[in-house]
Amino acid sequence: MESSSPIVSRSLKTASAKPSRRDFLRSSAKLSLGVGLGLSSLDWLAGCTQLADHRITPWDELAAKLQGSLLRPGMSSFVDLSTPWALQYASTVPQAIAQCRTEADVQTCIQWAKAHAMPLVARSGGHSYGGYSLTTGLMINVSALNSFSYDPNTGLATVGSGARNRTIFTECKPLNRAIPHGRCYEVGVAGLVLGGGIGFDMRLHGLTCDALRETRIVLADGRVLTCNENENTDLFWACRGAGGGNFGIHTSFTFETFPVSTVTTFNLVWTDRIVDTFAAIQSMTQSAPNVLGIKVSITAQKQAGASVLSLTILGHFVGSEADFRSLIAPILAVQKPAEQTIQVLPYWDGQQTISEEGKPEYAHERSRFVNGQLPDEAIQLIISQLKNWPGTSKAATWKYFLLGGQIDAQSPTDTAFVHRGYSMLSSTELEWTPADDAATLAKNEKWLSDFHNQMEAYTSPYCYQNFIDPSQDGYLQAYYGSNLPQLRAIKRKYDPENLFNYPQSIPV
């Protein structure tokens, strides 16, 4: 039986599914020597295999060069630092995790990994939907590089590449300033900014990557580059939308901040007349001012075998409660919500009421950018797909984030983030738990794939690179569109040997 704690079940699974080289050597030795040896001899042998293991891969040599720790499986914190957000990928376990404390640590790891032909990967917040910050080699974990500094003369804030949304929340609050940020505390700023960065501020202030003014990156050859509008401009262009893990390992990001005061936050839920209410919401959002940041979701959950749907709007409005209420009046005229919270709060207190932790779970999300408004038949399709959802022990959600506003102040080629000019980012999310068996999962995955494919009739073929999707066909075109040739040229220039790679990375 699976443990109810995914992290516990992960470490057990890891131990049985994929023995380490040391385990293998140790058990082979025991087998070949049979039962004739006493315990002390076996212990001695285990010591020898440990030595042999170190001689094959000189982990001690790397550990001695680092200011941070080098963790091997079994050591304290190893599981915490290696567990990905997407738990279905947790059976991939690194041979070691370098917990970098300095930029020089990152350089050392890259040089050491190259010298020993050890696969490597960068890990910041670990929230890749595809588990792409995992490796069976060396994980270069930058989460301890989470410093924050603010210059009041320029309004620029510099964060270490291990910072999370949580760091932004905590450090920006006393400054009464903000950076366009995501909604889940645990998501890494590195992954967020490198792939674009959507959030409730984007219509008023642009994407997280639009606020980026400078970044430092360690390249495959060990050099550290500063990238901004004047230096290494091609790489700076690519770092704003091409996604993490493609060109090198970033150590810091400098952002332009904006001042904040109060905000009206909202969370309204409907359980009746969902089709009509959704139509009214969509119509309101199509002409809403840029001060509205909103996510609209329709969620299915199973109750007594039937899919029960609920419709939610969540977000913030940078304006008065009265103005927000008049914006949503046509929606309330269709149907009163079953639950509603509307509050006027200081900006950062408000963000807390519409944010989530983002703890690890089992989930698969598939996205599509949308032009204009979804027609009635698309809404019917969404509702009928959710009603016919096969079901897991958790939920399935179709949602959209309202785009437009300042996102479109840049053209699709101004930065590597090509998806400008769309009205919505839609996505379907399937969640499950270890209680769901393989046959249930297979049925649900087929449902997700059919739903995603059918929606293409009403959407663009483009997908959000930060909702990275291991099952997306033609993913390079879907994530990067017309910017792909330029990205490949930049990849060839800065990482010609393709040191930084993962199943959906930009090829050389």
Ligand X SMILES: Cc1cc2nc3c(=O)[nH]c(=O)nc-3n(C[C@H](O)[C@H](O)[C@H](O)COP(=O)(O)OP(=O)(O)OC[C@H]3O[C@@H](n4cnc5c(N)ncnc54)[C@H](O)[C@@H]3O)c2cc1C
Q: Does 205 bind ligand X (CB under 6 A)?
A: no
Cross-strand bridge partners of residue 402: 424
Among 85, 317, 362, 389, binds ligand X (CB under 6 A): 85
Cα 362 to Cα 88, 395, 446, 494, 503: the distances in Å are 6, 11, 16, 35, 20
259 SS3 class: strand
Q: Does 166 bind ligand X (CB under 6 A)?
A: no
Q: Does 128 bind ligand X (CB under 6 A)?
A: yes
Q: Is 240 exposed, middle or buried (0-12, 13-18, 19+ CB in 10 A)?
A: buried
Residue of minimal Cβ distance to ligand X: 191
245 SS3 class: coil
3-state secondary structure 49-113: HHHHHHHHCCHHHHHHHCCCEEECCCCCCHHHHHCCCEHHHCCCCCCEEEECCCHHHHHHHHHHH
Instruction: Tell me how far apart the alpha carbons of residues 326 and 183 are, in angstroms, rounded to a whole number.
Output: 25
CB of 500: closest distance to ligand X in angstroms? 7
x/- mask, ligand X, residues 475-504, rule CB under 6 A, reads ---------------------------x--
H or E segment at 225?
strand 224-227
CB of 467: closest distance to ligand X in angstroms? 6
- Torsion angle defined by CA atoms of residues 434, 438, 440 and 446, in that order, rounded to the nearest 10 degrees: 120
Nearest Cα residue to 140 out of 167, 172, 114, 170:
114
Q: Does 369 bind ligand X (CB under 6 A)?
A: no
Do residues 87 and 8 lie in contact, with contact meaning Cβ atoms separated by under 8 Å? Answer: no
Instruction: Tell me how far apart the alpha carbons of residues 416 and 227 are, in angstroms, rounded to a whole number.
Output: 14
Q: Does 198 bind ligand X (CB under 6 A)?
A: yes
Stretch that binds ligand X, among 123-131, 256-264, 275-283, 441-449 (CB under 6 A): 123-131
Among 94, 241, 358, 391, binds ligand X (CB under 6 A): 358
Do residues 293 and 315 lie in contact, with contact meaning Cβ atoms separated by under 8 Å? Answer: yes
Q: Does 161 bind ligand X (CB under 6 A)?
A: yes
Quick one: DSSP state of residue 496? T
CB of 140: closest distance to ligand X in angstroms? 8
Q: Does 405 bind ligand X (CB under 6 A)?
A: no
Q: Does 82 bind ligand X (CB under 6 A)?
A: no
- Residues binding ligand X: what is the number (CB under 6 A)? 34
x/- mask, ligand X, residues 27-66, rule CB under 6 A, reads ----------------------------------------
Q: Does 184 bind ligand X (CB under 6 A)?
A: yes
Q: Does 315 bind ligand X (CB under 6 A)?
A: no
Among 26, 250, 366, 419, binds ligand X (CB under 6 A): 250
- Which of residues 179 and 198 has its CB atom nearest to ligand X in the complex? 198
Chain residues in the site for ligand X (CB under 6 A): 85, 121-129, 132-133, 142, 161, 182-184, 187-188, 190-192, 195-199, 244-245, 249-250, 358, 466, 502
